[in-house]
Amino acid sequence: MPPERAGVPGAERDARHVTASSSPLSSAAPERGWRSTASPAGGAGASGPGTTGFGTVPAFDEPPSAPREASAFDVCHAGVVLRAMLFVHGVVGLGLAFAAEGLAAWWRGFATASTVALPALLVWLSTACLAQRTLARLRIGWQWTVALGWGAACAAGSWSLWTVLQPPEARGVGAQVALAVAGAGAAMAGAFFHWLRQRARLQLPAATVARLAELQSRIRPHFLFNTLNTAIALVRIDPSRAETVLEDLAALFRAALAESEPQASATLGEEIELARRYLAIEQLRFGDRLLVHWELDPTADSARLPPLLLQPLVENAVKHGVEPAAEGGVLRVRTRTRRGQAELLVSNSVAPQSASTPGHGIALRNVQERLHLLHDVAADFRARRDGDVYRVRIVVPLP
């Protein structure tokens, strides 16, 4: 079957490979709207002579820049909002427990306080999310001033709105209570902002560790050695193919050495393209032993992922699934959208008596940690072995 993209160098070598019907994993028909191929991995060559498909390749002696600390006002995550709601309502409920004369009185007080606290909290979080870039440029003292002052203003505004909605006879509340509400809003905003700052600081070393693991995984010496030897062998007998190999390798190096920040991300479509380039290189080593099935839903391409997330997954599949098996193996990459989320599934055959050395799970842990840093609780990562097939499933929200 021809590759899904016409005019790609290396397409002429696809005819000699095994078709999809030879794969034990190819019986399921692709869902409507998917573009499905079942060709060897070499079907994604470079986009043209002298280019990598990603623009000009920078010199490899350019070191990646150190990641900068994430903004403390980065609250645009479902996990952060959930934690904020639990924190505020927990503090309110605990405080009322000291003054309530019984469970019924506590429930009434908690319902009233939640009516005031929840709108104030949501306004504070929404404003912080929308203005996070502007607020991140302020000095730390001004950040604290904005966080505390806006917390007090949101609490006082919510309280004022609540009192206006009450019957006239119930509005006789003194200024002391209004000041107490504003002070409580400022205090809880301060406590929450302190947690946000600690969270941002923790993200920096976590992102650095993940970056180091990512670079070590991408530029493995034996992978580089094998690739260069393959290109050298091809220079005389097939120069255009050797050029394609070097361009694919250059694209992988560029992605690994590109500047990144803790919150940097790539699209799923870009990750698919990099994985194709990696598998195109590995195809030269394994030939017909490596069969790749692509079942891709174009509507999922816009999903955001940490850079170079898919490549270590397919690398693991090749290393532990294809390489140890004398007859080779099958690798399937599938994407689809469901209920406003993008789903990525990577599965590979595993020989029943696999001779591969069991891994330590570093690549999988790295993938899981980086997903958590980018999407928090909105991302889901699962990996398991089902008989002779190893499966990895990743779910992230669509933008």
Q: Are residues 184 and 246 in the same domain?
A: no
The structure tokens 């290396």 sit at 10
Q: Are residues 238 and 191 in the same domain?
A: no
CB atoms < 10 A from the CB of 351, how many?
18
pLDDT confidence of residue 267: 92
In a domain, 266, yes or no: yes
10-residue mean pLDDT series, the chain (399 residues): 38 35 35 43 40 37 45 81 89 86 86 88 90 86 91 88 73 71 89 86 61 52 71 83 83 66 75 89 86 94 89 87 87 93 94 60 78 84 91 93
Tokens standing for residue 175: 């200024």
pLDDT confidence of residue 354: 55
Q: How far is CA 306 from the centre of its chain?
A: 4
Point out the domain boundary residue: 152, 178, 203.
203
In a domain, 209, yes or no: no
Q: Check if the beta carbon of residue 267 is closer than 8 Å to that of residue 305.
A: yes
Return d(Cα 118, Cα 162) in angstroms, integer: 12
pLDDT confidence of residue 393: 95
Q: Are residues 256 and 358 in the same domain?
A: yes
In a domain, 38, yes or no: yes
Q: Are residues 243 and 386 in the same domain?
A: yes
Return d(Cα 176, Cα 190) in angstroms, integer: 21
- Nearby residues of 393 by Cβ (< 8 Å), 6 or more positions away: 343, 344, 345, 380, 381, 382, 383
Q: What CATH number is given to the structural domain containing 279?
A: 3.30.565.10
In a domain, 36, yes or no: yes
Q: Which residue(s) pair with 392 in the sheet?
A: 346, 383
Q: Are residues 227 and 187 in the same domain?
A: no
pLDDT confidence of residue 9: 38
Q: Are residues 24 and 145 in the same domain?
A: no
Domain that holds residue 130: 78-203
Tokens standing for residue 242: 């050797």
Return d(Cα 88, Cα 173) in angstroms, integer: 23
Q: Are residues 236 and 185 in the same domain?
A: no
pLDDT confidence of residue 48: 37
Q: Are residues 41 and 110 in the same domain?
A: no
Return d(Cα 333, Cα 309) in angstroms, integer: 13
Q: Are residues 195 and 233 in the same domain?
A: no
pLDDT confidence of residue 64: 42
Q: Are residues 390 and 268 in the same domain?
A: yes
Q: Check if the beta carbon of residue 30 is closer than 8 Å to that of residue 36.
A: yes
Point out the domain boundary residue: 168, 203, 238.
203
Q: Are residues 224 and 314 in the same domain?
A: yes
In a domain, 50, yes or no: yes
In a domain, 66, yes or no: no
Q: What is the pTM of this model?
A: 0.55
CB atoms < 10 A from the CB of 145, how many?
12
In a domain, 134, yes or no: yes
Domain count, the chain: 2
Q: What length does the chain have?
A: 399
In a domain, 73, yes or no: no
| Residue 391, H or E segment | strand 389-397
Point out the domain boundary residue: 178, 203, 228.
203
Q: Are residues 171 and 246 in the same domain?
A: no
